[in-house]
């Protein structure tokens, strides 16, 4: 299989698997005594050696420039064939014990598609062991298959790798010799030794093997694995991963992909095209199989109706993962915290948002369960001040031109619906004398909020730095005069960019949410972000606004920026509160650091104090809360 080059979109060329031809003289399943001939068999056998796994994405970590340093292929999976010339040996098996007799035939793989054939096989027993040596374990393996051999079999490229299968020549129509047929052999021999017929032992052995992986459905014959889209292909991929032990690749490695699947909006993958979306679905299914395996490995019973909604904890590497029984399978996630989902419509532009309501006893909170996306600067029904304050101070995440996937990014002052004229800066000099900062220095100090304003008089960096230096010398310390736009009531109620009847959350609002999550799930407040990711558990809908791209090599790349939500500060609005000797920076944002994905308590949350002037231009998302 030739190495492929990837262009602007994923292109994956899958070789068609061999249509096998098989002929046999006997049609019954009766065992034939080892070493005797009840009916002389002359058989023909054709098949292929190799593995079939679903196509999945590679991820690439980007540096600050947005470039990936990796040159590896962007896709993972597809057909992986035994190399041309690989040795294929057919061993006759004793019909009573399935052990090797002294008879065998040797051939080789005839082409680059892993094909082999045997004509006129004259064995006394119809049961044979097929061994293919070596399967995709050569220096040129990666070039032929498009898949780095080190991902499958470790670091060495020269150690022969063997695949095997035991078949009944009388009933085998298509023979695929792969990792699953190899893994089934001890189960098959054990069941056959119990006295089952070969066909019964074969079927039971496949069920035994799948159940050892936490899979309780029949997925078809292992010897008929020919399609990378089949369910068995995912099991084969999982087996590949587990054979590596601690050297698991970053392709199917759970930490990486549970993170992607859990915290990045699904629509972000769909926006990259059908191929990327399909690869995303493949990874989702791969994760499902891995969770089932972890449950079995940790001696957790099958997910049934009796266990619906029950959560368990499994070990994974040096950490733990919470899983929950839902709809007949174990899923990564946490136990359900009581909440009510709903919707609300922003009358200003007609957009509808998901909502979630929590009853915390004495306090009931209703939050938007998705990020705000309002930017109407033209309609007459919209407040004129808000329209002006939004211009040049809101945008969409790259790759999400309509902001429908991630919601809208707002500068803090536009989220608060604060204009430049509303802001008054106070200064305290070294003698403790308070005075108002002049307009020129105010404009310089607030430059982050003007970076998109083409008419900004200090857009030139050199000029701005020069004026800034003078202003810093002139004003020892500066702070907002909060009396201009924050009311004296506590907690602060401030509508900002939110719809009528809704408002910007204050610190107390977030504190109530975090502390109740902390008490319910038994974790520190700083770890409560993990539960807001899990839609089933809390319904909050927290997702990472990642910028996803596919490079020329087909790799999926991402840029994760700071994930901030706007907070209206609870501050002393008195002018006398400005004190150069003792002051507490107001908290403008709540910051989430999302990591580990659903079911892992790794996502952090903390407040982000900041200096008042610089905070005005900081970009943030908005989650409105109902009054």
Burial of 292 (0-12, 13-18, 19+ CB in 10 A): buried
Q: What angle do CA 299, 300, 306 make, to 5 degrees?
A: 150
Identify the three-state secondary structure at position 457.
Answer: coil
**Same domain flag for 344 and 230:** no
Q: What is the largest CA-CA distance in the chain?
A: 111
Q: How far apart are CA 277 and CA 282, in angstroms?
A: 9
Query: Given this model, what pLDDT does residue 60 score?
Result: 43
Question: 259 vs 16, which has greater pLDDT?
Answer: 259
User: Please, which pLDDT band fits residue 1 given cuts at 50, 70 and 90?
Assistant: very low
Residue 253: name the closest of 183, 190, 317 by CA: 317
**Region of poorest pLDDT, from 31-45, 54-68, 90-104, 610-624:** 54-68
Mean pLDDT of 598-612: 70
**Which range has highest mean pLDDT (249-258, 259-268, 415-424)?**
415-424
Query: Given this model, what pLDDT does residue 449 score?
Result: 82
Average pLDDT, the chain: 79
Task: Answer whether residue 428 is part of any domain.
Answer: no
Task: Answer whether residue 550 is part of any domain.
Answer: yes
Task: Answer whether residue 389 is part of any domain.
Answer: yes
pLDDT higher than 50, residue 250: no
User: Please, which pLDDT band fits residue 256 given cuts at 50, 70 and 90?
Assistant: low
User: Please, which pLDDT band fits residue 85 given cuts at 50, 70 and 90?
Assistant: confident
Backbone phi and psi for residue 248, each to the nearest 5 degrees, phi listed first: -75, 140
**Same domain flag for 233 and 349:** no
Query: Given this model, what pLDDT does residue 468 score?
Result: 92
Residue 176: name the closest of 87, 48, 294 by CA: 48
pLDDT higher than 70, residue 255: no
pLDDT higher than 80, residue 38: no
**Region of poorest pLDDT, from 46-60, 346-360, 370-384, 462-476:** 46-60
pLDDT higher than 90, residue 520: yes
Q: Which of residues 192, 227, 243 is at a domain's end? A: 243
**Region of poorest pLDDT, from 20-29, 397-406, 523-532, 555-564:** 20-29
pLDDT in tens, 177-191: 999 999 999 999 999
User: Please, which pLDDT band fits residue 7 given cuts at 50, 70 and 90?
Assistant: very low
**Same domain flag for 522 and 403:** yes
pLDDT higher than 60, residue 605: yes
Q: Which of residues 213, 243, 273 is at a domain's end? A: 243
pLDDT higher than 60, residue 258: no
User: Please, which pLDDT band fits residue 306 given cuts at 50, 70 and 90?
Assistant: very high
**Same domain flag for 379 and 505:** yes
Mean pLDDT of 409-428: 88
**Same domain flag for 60 and 202:** yes
| Domain that includes residue 196, residue range | 41-243
pLDDT higher than 60, residue 375: yes
Mean pLDDT of 42-51: 88
pLDDT higher than 80, residue 68: no
Residue 331: name the closest of 305, 279, 295 by CA: 295
Query: Given this model, what pLDDT does residue 14 score?
Result: 26
**Same domain flag for 67 and 172:** yes
Q: How far apart are CA 444 and CA 471, in angstroms?
A: 8
Task: Answer whether residue 503 is part of any domain.
Answer: yes
**Same domain flag for 406 and 527:** yes
CA dihedral 60→64→67→68, nearest 10 degrees, is: -30
**Region of poorest pLDDT, from 46-60, 87-101, 190-204:** 46-60
**Same domain flag for 237 and 384:** no
Mean pLDDT of 77-82: 70
Task: Answer whether residue 141 is part of any domain.
Answer: yes
Other Cβ atoms closer than 10 A to 531: 25
pLDDT higher than 70, residue 128: yes
Query: Given this model, what pLDDT does residue 122 score?
Result: 92
Query: Given this model, what pLDDT does residue 204 score?
Result: 98
Q: Which of residues 243, 270, 302 is at a domain's end? A: 243
Mean pLDDT of 515-535: 92
Ramachandran sector of residue 522 (left: φ over 0; alpha: ψ -120 to 50; beta: rest): left
**Same domain flag for 351 and 207:** no
DSSP class of residue 178 equals: -
Task: Answer whether residue 100 is part of any domain.
Answer: yes
pLDDT higher than 80, residue 111: yes
Mean pLDDT of 261-283: 84
pLDDT higher than 50, residue 75: no
pLDDT higher than 50, residue 67: no
Task: Answer whether residue 500 is part of any domain.
Answer: yes
CA dihedral 478→483→487→492, nearest 10 degrees, is: 10
Alpha helices, H only, 244-345: 254-263, 266-270, 274-297
Number of domains, the chain: 2
Tokens of 14: 């899958």
**Same domain flag for 346 and 238:** no
Question: 127 vs 452, which has greater pLDDT?
Answer: 127
Task: Answer whether residue 217 is part of any domain.
Answer: yes
């Amino acid at each position: 299989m030739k190495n492929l080059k990837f262009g602007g979109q994923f292109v994956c060329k899958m070789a068609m698997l061999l249509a096998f031809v098989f002929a046999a003289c006997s049609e019954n399943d009766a065992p034939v005594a080892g070493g005797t001939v009840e009916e002389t068999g002359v058989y023909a056998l054709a098949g292929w050696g190799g593995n079939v796994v679903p196509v999945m994405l590679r991820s690439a970590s980007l540096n600050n420039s947005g470039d990936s340093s990796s040159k590896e292929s962007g896709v993972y999976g597809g057909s992986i064939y035994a190399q041309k010339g690989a040795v294929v040996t057919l061993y006759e098996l004793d019909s009573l014990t399935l052990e090797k007799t002294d008879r065998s035939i040797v051939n080789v793989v005839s082409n680059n598609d892993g094909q082999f054939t045997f004509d006129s096989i004259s064995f006394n027993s119809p049961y044979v062991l097929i061994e293919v040596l070596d399967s995709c374990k050569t220096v040129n393996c990666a070039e032929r298959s498009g898949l780095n051999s080190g991902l499958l079999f470790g670091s060495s490229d020269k150690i022969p790798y063997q695949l095997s299968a035991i078949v009944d020549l009388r009933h085998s129509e298509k023979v695929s010799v792969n990792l699953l047929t190899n893994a089934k052999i001890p189960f098959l021999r054990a069941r056959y030794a119990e006295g089952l017929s070969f066909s019964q032992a074969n079927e039971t052995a496949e069920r035994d093997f799948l159940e050892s992986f936490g899979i309780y459905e029949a997925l078809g014959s292992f010897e008929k694995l020919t399609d990378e889209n089949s369910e068995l292909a995912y099991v084969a991929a999982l087996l590949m991963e587990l054979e590596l032990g601690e050297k698991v690749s970053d392709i199917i490695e759970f930490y990486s992909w549970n993170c992607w699947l859990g915290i990045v909006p699904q629509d972000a993958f769909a926006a990259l095209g059908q191929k990327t979306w399909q690869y995303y679905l493949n990874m989702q299914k791969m994760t499902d199989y891995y969770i089932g395996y972890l449950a079995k490995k940790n001696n957790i019973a099958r997910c049934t109706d009796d266990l619906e909604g029950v959560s368990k904890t499994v070990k994974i590497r040096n950490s733990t993962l919470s899983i929950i029984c839902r709809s007949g399978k174990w899923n990564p996630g946490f136990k359900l915290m009581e909440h009510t989902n709903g919707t609300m419509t922003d009358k200003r532009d007609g957009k509808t948002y998901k909502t979630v309501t929590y009853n915390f006893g004495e306090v009931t909170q209703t939050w938007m369960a998705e990020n705000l996306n309002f930017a109407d600067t033209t309609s007459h029904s919209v407040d004129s001040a808000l329209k002006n304050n939004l211009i040049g101070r809101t945008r969409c995440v790259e790759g999400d031109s309509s902001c429908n996937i991630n919601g809208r990014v707002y500068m803090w002052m536009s989220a608060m619906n604060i204009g430049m004229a509303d802001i008054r800066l106070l200064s305290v000099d070294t003698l403790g004398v308070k005075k108002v900062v002049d307009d020129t220095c105010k404009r310089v100090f607030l430059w982050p909020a003007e970076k998109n304003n083409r008419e900004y008089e200090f857009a030139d960096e050199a000029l701005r730095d020069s004026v800034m230096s003078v202003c810093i010398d002139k004003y020892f310390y500066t702070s907002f005069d909060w009396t201009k736009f924050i009311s004296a009531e506590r907690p602060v109620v401030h509508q900002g960019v939110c719809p009528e009847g809704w408002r910007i959350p204050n610190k107390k609002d977030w504190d109530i949410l975090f502390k109740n999550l902390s008490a319910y799930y038994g974790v520190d407040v700083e770890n409560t972000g993990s539960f807001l990711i899990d839609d089933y558990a809390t319904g909050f809908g927290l997702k990472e606004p990642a910028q996803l791209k596919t490079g020329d090599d087909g790799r999926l790349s991402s840029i994760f920026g700071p994930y901030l939500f706007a907070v209206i500060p609870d501050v002393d609005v008195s002018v006398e509160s400005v004190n150069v000797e003792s002051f507490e920076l107001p908290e403008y944002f709540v910051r989430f650091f999302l990591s580990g994905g659903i079911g892992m308590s790794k996502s952090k949350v903390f407040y982000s104090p900041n200096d008042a002037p610089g905070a005005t231009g900081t970009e943030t998302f908005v989650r409105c809360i109902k009054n």
